[in-house]
Structures are given as C-alpha cells and as structure tokens.
Amino acid sequence: CSPEGFPQETIHWLKDGEPLQVGGRIKKSGGRSILIQGVERQDRGMYQCLVHNMEDAAQGSSQLKLGDAAPRWVETSGPQVVSPGGSVMLRCVVQGAPPPTLSWTLHNTPVEIQDPRIQASEQVDKDIVMGTLNVSQIRIEDGGLWQCIANNRAGTVSNNDRLNVRGPPAIAPMAPISVVAGRTATFPCQVSGYPIVSIYWEKNGVVLPVSQRQEVHSNGTLEIREVSREADSGKYTCVAKAEAHVAKADLHVEVMVPPHIDERLFSVGSGFPAGSRARIMCVVERGDLPLTFTWAHDGQSLAPGPALSIRSLDEYTSVLLFTSVRPEDVGEYSCSVANAVAQHTRSTQLLVKMAPVWREMPQDKSVVVGTDVTLGCSARGSPTPTVTWRRADGALPRQYMPVQELGENVRIISNSSLSILGVRRDQGGYFLCSASNGVGSELSKAVHLNIK
C-alpha cells in the first residue's frame, strides 16, 4: 500500500470487508505492507488498504488467489451403529482446488450406486464439496468399513468410517491371492455384524500368530513380514466370534518368487565394432514361471527387424541379437521380465566401436622463420581416438621422434593440432600425425613443414 499526499495520519487494513487480524503468520511490514507467512487456504480473499487524513480518504485493494490445493477433510461421519432394516447417512465434507470429486467403497469395493437402496449426492460451494451417501433397508452385510475418496489433480485423500449393523457375524468371501516372497503381505478380514467379541486367524487349526513375523491387527487384518514360500503358503481361516455365533472364511495364499535377472550375464563389455555381430543375454536366475520378457532401447519398446532379432533360448532366457551393429544402435538397452506378482528390469549401455577417420587431415605447410605455425590434425571414432605427433629424425621420413624434443615452443593444443610459436629454421621437416583407438588400423599421415 503506497499512498501519496500529506499528511497521512492512519492506514487501516481490511480483509473481505472486515478488519484484518494481524498477528502470528500475518504481520505488518514497514507500516505500508502486509506479510503473510506460510499461506493457507483461509488467506485467500480481497485485501483493502484504507488511508485518510483530516482532508480526504483513499483506498486500494488487491485480491489474493490461490492455485491448486490437494483435498483435505473438513468433516466426516465417524462410526455408527444401526439395526437391520433401518437407514443411515454417511457424510464427508472436503475442501480443495479444483473442487474434488467423490467416490465411495465398501470393503475396498466400489459402491454400486445403481442399487435402489443407495443414494449419493454432492453439493459444491466454491472449493468445498459436501457429499452424502444414504443407505436404506440396511442389511447385516452392509456393515464394515465405508470409505469416502476425494480426488483432484493436486492429490487424493480417503477416509474410513465403520458402519456397525447389529446381528450375527458374517465374513466377506476372500479370493485366492498370490504374494511376493521376501516382502510384507496383508490379508484383510472383512467382518460385518455387531457386536463382535473377537476376530482372529488360524492356519492348519493353529491360532496365529506363531512367529514374530506374524501380527493380527485389531481390525482383523493379518500381516506377515518377510513372506516365505515354505512357511507361509497354504490355507488360512479368519474367525469372527459374537456372543452366540461364529463365522469363518478361508483364504488360499500362494507365495511366489519374484523374477531376478542375472547381472553377471547381462553385460556387453566395452562394446562391439561397427558391422560385427552382437548379442545381449537376459537370463533369469530365479523366479516362478511363467515369465514374460520385453526389451527396450532408450526407453522405447523394441520389436524384431532386419538387423535385430529376439530369441527365446528357454523359459528363463531371452537373447537380443544384432546381425550387424550400426552406429545408431548405440544407447541403453533394458530387459524387463515379469511373472504373476512382480517385475524386474536391468539395463546396460551398448557402445559401438568405430575405427578413426579424419575430421581434419594434416596438410603440408610453408612458413617464414620466426612466425607462429599450426599444423591441424583431428580424427573422430568410438572410443575417441588418441592423436599423437612425431617428427622425422633426419631429412627423410624414416624414423620419428616425439615432437616435445624439438623445444619449449612446441606444444599440442586442445584440438590435437600441433602449435609452434616463433618457429626456428631447424624445426622444419617431416611430421607424422597418428590417430588410434584400438579399433581397426591406426590412421596416420606425414606432412612436410618448410621453413623459409
């Protein structure tokens, strides 16, 4: 707020037409500014600056708008107890920007809004969404955890409210499940009925837990850490007890070993020369069948072609074959293998080796004594070639010695060129530039430097 005029007796601040409460996160800065630290949703709105003296008054305003905000709960129903045949209203109020959309689940299964007994409604007021779910003609199986899920592009939140329906216990059927060996597995037991005295799990007639890896939570969920095929596969039974009734439901658990690619065999070494044959082997050293293999090059899916094929040697091995390696084949290759419970991916860099070729071929030169001279020489290839300079020992190009022996005014600069500052008459003659990278034959050329 930067008013003009004199004198300026007082400055007042309003927010949405009401005096601004200054303190805590909201502070006056320099008498003419308001500083808001850690901006929150309630800080949005219209801010007004009022200035007056004995002669006149003036005002200015500014609106604070906020961008996307993840949903947050304003109000939820909490646990409720009802009798069969009755009705209940579940409510969740959420705030977010843009206004969140709501959905409902029972026992993690989407609620069938088409059920005539269930009616869902929503009311939107700016960034607040008020959702209600009315359930009539309540049944015992309607008991359990009802979940309200709020979602917008900034995030997702969920809230569980338990609905207890008076009656004998009942357990929702549990489909067979496959879990990953070595990880933590959780098995919910969805119990309806009220009141429930206890919920527990059995395996082979023995009440769990029987080891420190197992834990039965108060909501009836069985948790097993570091799952083992030998110890944890089999049939489990969830038992729910009321005063005079008992309900049981079985769960069949299969423990599967996730796939793992052998790192020792998944390698391409230092690369392959251009035009040569090459292969990358993807061998699964452990993991349950069946396995599915997929290949990718720099993140893009690979398909067989004229210069590339994918072969399956057995149920555990997939091979990527190059009939003739090309420069464009360089990059990252990934093998992904999946079974029913997990996926494993391993990647390697393929380098294509190419023999040196001239980028700048050295040329004969004739210069005046005392001037600076540069003999250009550079090559490209993969890996990057090493360029060396030598000078003929004598008038004829027969034996060569390192150029550094010519004097302190001779050096090889960053682009592999040979530089001689203030060349002397005895520094002329034949020079040999060589480029090599271990692929193919060495590339070399002799040039003559004539000193006049």
pLDDT digits (tens, 9 = 90+) for 160-171: 999 999 999 999
Q: Which two tokens stand for residue 287?
A: 């993991």
Q: Which two tokens stand for residue 144?
A: 């359990």
Query: Rounded to the nearest 5°, which phi and psi values hold at 276?
Result: -90, 165
Burial of 365 (0-12, 13-18, 19+ CB in 10 A): middle
- Picking from 107, 72, 108, 110, the residue whose alpha carbon sits closest to that of residue 93 is 72
**CA 69 to CA 254: how far, in whole Å?**
42
CA dist 254 → 227, 234, 236 (Å): 10, 7, 11
Q: Return the H-helix or E-strand segment holding 179.
A: strand 177-180
Q: What are the residues whose beta carbons fall under 8 Å from the beta carbon of 381, sequence distance 6 or more?
A: 354, 355, 356, 357, 435, 437, 439
Query: Which pTM was predicted?
Result: 0.60
Strand ranges for 315-351 from DSSP E: 317-322, 331-338, 343-350
Q: DSSP string covering 423-443, please?
A: --GGG-EEEEEEEE-SSSSPE
Question: Residue 8's pLDDT is what?
Answer: 62
| Cα–Cα distances in angstroms (integers) from residue 393 to residues 34, 99, 397, 401, in the given order | 82, 85, 8, 6
Contacts 24+ apart (CB under 8 A), 396-402: 396/430, 397/430, 397/432, 397/446, 400/432
Residue written as token pair 């005014």: 409
pLDDT tens-digit map of 102-143: 999 998 889 988 889 999 999 999 889 999 999 999 999 999
The token duo for 292 is: 């599915």
CA distance 389 to 445: 10
Q: Residue 235 and residue 182: Cα distance in Å, rounded?
A: 19
**Cβ pair 148, 104 in contact under 8 A:** yes
CA distance to 38, 133, 169, 191, per residue, from 138 (Å): 46, 13, 15, 15
224 neighbors 177 (Cβ within 8 angstroms)? no
Instruction: Quote the pLDDT of residue 267.
Output: 84
Contact 123, 100 (CB under 8 A): no
Distance, in Å, from the CA atom of 452 to the CA atom of 450, rounded to the nearest integer, reads: 6
- Own/partner long-range contacts of 217-224 (Cβ < 8 Å, ≥24 apart): 219/145, 219/188, 220/188, 220/189, 220/190, 220/191, 221/186, 221/187, 221/188, 221/189, 222/186, 222/187, 222/189, 223/184, 223/185, 223/186, 223/187, 224/184, 224/185, 224/186, 224/187
- The single-letter DSSP state of residue 255 is E
With a cut of 70, list the residues of the chain below it in pLDDT. 5, 7-9, 31, 54
Write down the pLDDT at residue 33: 86
Within 10 Å of residue 329's Cβ, how many Cβ atoms? 18
Distance CA 376, CA 373 (A): 10
Number of H helices, E strands in the chain: 1, 44
Within 8 A by CB and 6+ apart from 292, the residues are 337, 338, 339
Residue 341: strand, helix, or coil: coil
Indicate the SS3 state at residue 304. coil
* Distance, CA of 356 to CA of 442 (rounded, Å): 8
